[in-house]
């Protein structure tokens, strides 16, 4: 199977090379109109078919690797290093992306899959799709070069075939890790598609904004996958690492967050280009930057440049990625300089207080956040290169800088939707912002009354201050967004006689893009509320023998015993803890410590009891070697569940935003009443209260 997989990768490399070269030649002949022995259109079609065949070749290689894992073929070095006979089946499948070579193969396979779908749908715009397909082939060619020469996944073990393998990294033997890496990769790899369309559209001086409409679905799906991947990674860190947190500003966490920031900025600013013909250069460079940041994240993960629980060991492929990124950047700059006159804006911002300016501020803040995180991530590398000593940038740096930026972004999510296009009157500001401001200050007062005090014992508590500000802004933003829904729903209800909930549904179906975006903003607000709860985390630890007790918050933990278990994959020991609240038995928890037999590595399995108000989070930290008594650490983490619920709302809003809107007459069920509602809304729009008008 190793020979089959290697041959499949070699065939895939050949097909990708043909797709790239033949596609480039065909497009060049079409652009210049020069005669050729073969029709350029025919040559371009053969290049497209080579791209389709490349997908099947990479699929065959991926199948060969997975088959080798399940058949325990330890003659392949990669299988020997990342699997063993007793490994459960789901984790055998996860071995595909558990190491460097396999993860690069997964990347190449997903990229080939995206390209496969793109090439099958090429009739939407044959020439633009030909440009995008050729650019994707160039990216595919790079990854297949790596797989064939720099990091071959089917390299054979040098020596007698081992009886068993080293096993999968214990940190990866968790159900979520079967989902998290593919989801993150779907986001990372997916941004190659809008990048290819943007670069291709710029190369061919594509008229109009159709390329943005074509790529919108790709970008939304990719952004959703990346969002889910990031949050699944947070939940994995929370449930597996046993430190009580979910985001530590780890360099590889940052590497996934940076393209999310620029991708989010791109999704916002393309609306400006579609509606106003503005921010064309912004959009091009935002998607260029997003793609380059996905490459940077891959470089950081696989070249061993940073210390991270997520990163792979030191390897030689870093120079390959750096060379590729330099080539891509050079092509982007050259194309932009050559075609920059094609990107002139059709309009200018007329007022600082307008929806146009809110989009601009939103982009500036997102890019500022990205730059801060990029600087903090690369600073240890740069300091070691310049000074010879690595200066680590820790979480306090990011908290001091990124948290205020995040709060300002949260503020913009509430302000932007309330501003009309072009300019805002004082009357409109008064109408739209009075109620959110009242709610904001009501939350501040309520927080102070309930004990959220920025000053404790004469000292300033930065965490409590940020939490109070976050709660207050979240209250104002939720009020602003819900007011938009209710305002439009009331208009529909008056004109059609439907109830308010039906009006909200019909309003959303009338303009799914706009109101799906509002739902996403609601999800973001919910996530911020969950993040703000971190300021009030509590923890305690204690050595616990039989019937020892530990108190945290309203809970009393009573140790009723310790026990051991074993299977073919690992040995474990865990504590049995009865949990009481107000003297009443509530439930039992069993935090666990495992020792994996193949690798000899330990792993913590956290016990978590979740409520809407908080999580009770208990860790079995091991045994004190001096006393022989187990050590139990407990955390009480407020509002963590809101983070995961917020993700569900974000995903739901993204799906809504991708559903096609229905015609205005279908919303009301009667054409005349709705037409009157739209006319009334047009008048309100001029005053700064957009309700039903489409196309936002």
0.75 exceeded by pTM:
yes
Question: pLDDT tens digit string along 224-240?
Answer: 999 999 999 999 999 98
Lowest-pLDDT range of 158-172, 459-473, 672-686: 672-686
Q: Give the Cα separation of 432 and 167 in Å (integer).
A: 59
Question: pLDDT tens digit string along 322-349?
Answer: 999 999 999 999 999 999 888 887 767 6
Tell me what pLDDT residue 276 has: 76
Tell me what pLDDT residue 262 has: 96
Q: Give the Cα separation of 21 and 624 in Å (integer).
A: 64
Angle between helices 192-203 and 280-302 (to 10 degrees): 140
Q: Does the pLDDT at position 115 exceed 70?
A: yes
Q: Please, which pLDDT band fits residue 537 given cuts at 50, 70 and 90?
A: very high
Tell me what pLDDT residue 481 has: 92
CB of 255 closer than 8 Å to CB of 300: yes
Of 538, 529, 484, 525, the residue nearest 507 (C-alpha): 484
Tell me what pLDDT residue 314 has: 52
Joined together, the tokens standing for residue 305 give: 């440049």
Q: Does the pLDDT at position 20 exceed 60?
A: yes
Question: pLDDT tens digit string along 246-264?
Answer: 998 988 889 999 999 999 9
Q: Please, which pLDDT band fits residue 678 given cuts at 50, 70 and 90?
A: very low
Tell me what pLDDT residue 334 has: 96
Q: Give the Cα separation of 190 and 171 in Å (integer).
A: 26
Tell me what pLDDT residue 556 has: 95
Q: Does the pLDDT at position 612 exceed 70?
A: yes
Q: Please, which pLDDT band fits residue 308 given cuts at 50, 70 and 90?
A: low
Question: pLDDT tens digit string along 641-652?
Answer: 999 999 999 999
Angle at 115 between CA 111 and CA 120, to 5 degrees: 155
Tell me what pLDDT residue 663 has: 67
Question: pLDDT tens digit string along 554-607?
Answer: 999 999 988 889 988 899 998 999 999 988 999 999 999 999 988 888 888 999
Question: pLDDT tens digit string along 262-306?
Answer: 999 999 888 888 877 788 888 999 999 999 999 998 888 776 666
Q: Give the Cα separation of 195 and 292 in Å (integer).
A: 9
Q: Does the pLDDT at position 123 exceed 90?
A: no
């Amino acid at each position: 199977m190793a020979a089959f997989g290697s041959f499949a990768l070699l065939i895939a490399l050949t097909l990708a090379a043909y797709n790239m070269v033949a596609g480039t030649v065909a497009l060049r002949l079409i652009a210049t109109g020069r005669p050729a022995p073969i029709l350029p259109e025919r040559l371009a079609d053969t290049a497209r078919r080579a791209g389709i065949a490349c997908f099947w070749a990479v699929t065959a290689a991926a199948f060969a690797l997975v088959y080798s894992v399940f058949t325990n073929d330890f003659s392949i070095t990669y299988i020997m290093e990342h699997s063993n006979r007793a490994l459960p089946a789901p984790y055998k499948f996860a071995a595909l992306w558990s190491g460097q070579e396999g993860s690069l193969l997964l990347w190449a396979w997903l990229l080939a899959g995206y390209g496969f779908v793109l090439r099958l749908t090429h009739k939407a715009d044959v020439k633009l799709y030909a440009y995008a397909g050729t650019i994707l082939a160039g990216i595919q060619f790079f990854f297949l070069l790596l797989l064939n020469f720099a990091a071959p996944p089917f390299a054979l073990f040098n020596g007698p075939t081992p009886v068993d393998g080293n096993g999968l990294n214990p940190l990866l033997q968790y159900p979520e890790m079967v989902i998290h890496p593919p989801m993150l990769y779907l986001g990372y790899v997916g941004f190659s598609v809008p990048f290819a369309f943007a670069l291709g559209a710029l190369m061919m001086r594509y008229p109009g904004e159709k390329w943005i409409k074509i790529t919108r679905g790709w970008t939304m799906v990719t952004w959703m996958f990346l969002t889910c991947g990031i949050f699944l990674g947070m939940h994995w860190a929370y449930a597996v690492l046993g430190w009580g947190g979910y985001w530590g500003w780890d360099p590889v966490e940052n590497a996934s967050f940076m393209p999310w920031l620029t991708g989010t900025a791109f999704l916002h600013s393309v609306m400006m280009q579609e509606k106003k013909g503005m921010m064309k250069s912004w959009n091009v460079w935002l998607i260029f930057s997003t793609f380059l940041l996905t490459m940077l994240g891959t470089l950081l993960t696989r070249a061993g440049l940073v210390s991270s629980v997520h990163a792979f060991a030191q390897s030689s492929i870093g120079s390959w990625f750096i060379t590729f990124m330099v080539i891509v950047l050079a092509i982007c700059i050259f194309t932009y300089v050559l075609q920059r006159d094609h990107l002139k804006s059709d309009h200018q911002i007329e007022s600082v207080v307008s929806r146009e300016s809110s989009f601009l501020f939103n982009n500036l803040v997102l890019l500022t956040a990205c730059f801060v995180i990029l600087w903090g991530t690369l600073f240890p590398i740069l300091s070691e290169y310049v000074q010879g000593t690595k200066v680590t940038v820790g979480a306090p740096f990011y908290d001091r800088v990124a948290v205020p930026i995040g709060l300002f972004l949260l503020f913009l999510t509430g302000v932007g939707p309330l501003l009309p296009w072009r300019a805002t009157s004082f009357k409109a500001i008064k109408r739209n912002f009075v109620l959110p401001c009242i709610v904001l200050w009501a939350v501040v007062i309520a927080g102070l009354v309930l004990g959220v005090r920025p000053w404790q014992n004469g000292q300033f508590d930065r965490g409590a201050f940020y939490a109070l500000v976050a709660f207050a802004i979240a209250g104002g933003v939720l009020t602003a967004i819900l007011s938009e829904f209710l305002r439009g729903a009331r208009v529909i209800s008056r004109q059609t006689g439907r109830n308010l909930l039906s009006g909200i549904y019909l309003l959303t179906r009338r303009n799914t893009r706009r109101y799906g975006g509002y739902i996403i903003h609601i999800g973001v607000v919910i996530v911020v509320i969950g993040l703000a709860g971190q300021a009030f985390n509590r923890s305690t630890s204690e050595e616990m023998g039989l019937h020892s007790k530990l108190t945290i918050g309203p809970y009393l933990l009573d140790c009723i015993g310790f026990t051991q278990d074993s299977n073919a994959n690992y040995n474990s020991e865990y504590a049995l803890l009865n949990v009481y609240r107000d003297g009443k038995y509530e439930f039992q928890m069993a935090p666990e410590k495992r020792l994996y037999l193949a690798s000899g590595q330990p792993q913590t399995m956290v016990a978590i009891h979740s409520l809407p108000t908080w999580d009770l989070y208990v860790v079995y930290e091991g045994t004190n070697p001096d006393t022989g008594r187990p050590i139990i650490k407990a955390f009480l983490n407020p509002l963590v569940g809101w983070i995961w619920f917020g993700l569900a709302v974000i995903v739901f809003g993204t799906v809504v935003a991708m559903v096609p809107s229905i015609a205005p007459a279908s919303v009301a069920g009667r054409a005349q009443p709705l037409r009157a509602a739209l006319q009334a809304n047009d008048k309100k729009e001029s005053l700064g209260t957009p309700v039903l008008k489409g196309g936002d």
